[in-house]
Amino acid sequence: MKLSKDDVKKIAHLARLRLSDEELDRFLPQLTEILSYVEMLQEVNTKGVLETCQVAGLENIMREDIVDHSLATADDLLSTAALPVVDHQIRINRIM
C-alpha cells in the first residue's frame, strides 16, 4: 500500500488529529511500511473461515437496563471533564 501525503492528511482528518507538515512527512514512510508489512495477510486463503471478533466464547449477554450509581454519581463522572462544568453540564464554546 503506497500512501501519498494527501492520503495521510485525509486519514489524520478522519482520526481527528492535527498534524504539522513535519509530522506528515515523518509518518508517511512509517505508515506505508507498516501497511506494506500487513499486506502479507492477503496471501492467506480464508475462504469459508469465520472472523474472530472476540475470544470469550460468549454471545448476547443480557442484563436489566438499570442505571447503577453505586460506583459514581453523574456529577462524579462530570468532574473529569476537560472543560468547565456549569449546572451539571459541560460548557463548550459556540460552534455555529
Partner 1 sequence: MLDFNNMTITDAHEGLKAGAFSVQDLLDASLHRIEESKDLNSFISITKEYATERAALLDAKISNGDDIPILAGIPLALKDLFNMKGSFTTSGSLMLANYKSPYDASVVTKLKEVDALIVGKNNMDEFACGVSNETSYFGPVLNPWDKTRVPGGSSGGSAAAVAAGQVFYALGTDTGGSIRQPASLCGVVGFKPSYGRVSRFGVNAMASSWDHVGPITRTVKDAALVMNVIAGKDPYDATMPDRPVLDYTAELDDGISGMTIGVPKEFFEEGVDEEVQDIVRSALKECEALGATLKEVSLPMMKYGVAIYYVTTPGELSTNLARLDGVRFGYKPEGEFKNIHEYYAASRGDSFGDEIKRRTMIGTFVLSAGYADAYYKQAQRVRTLVIEDFARVFKEVDVLMAPSSPTVAFKIGEKLDDPLAMYMCDVLTIPANAAGIPAISIPCGFNSEGLPVGLQIMGPQFEESLVLKVAYTYEQATKWHKLHPEI
Q: Which of residues 49-68 bind partner 1 (CB under 8 A)?
A: 49-58, 61, 63
Work out whether 42 is an interface residue with partner 1 (CB under 8 A): yes
Residues 6+ apart with CB under 8 A from 74: 88
Q: How far apart are the first and last CA of the chain?
A: 38
Binding mask 5-34 for partner 1 (x = CB under 8 A): ---x--xxxxxxxxx---x--xx--xx-xx
Residues 6+ apart with CB under 8 A from 19: 8, 9, 12, 27
Q: Which residue is associated with the grid cell 492477503?
A: 42
Residue numbers at the binding site for partner 1 (CB under 8 A): 8, 11-19, 23, 26-27, 30-31, 33-35, 37-38, 40-42, 44, 46, 49-58, 61, 63, 71-72, 76-77, 79-83, 90, 92-93, 95-96
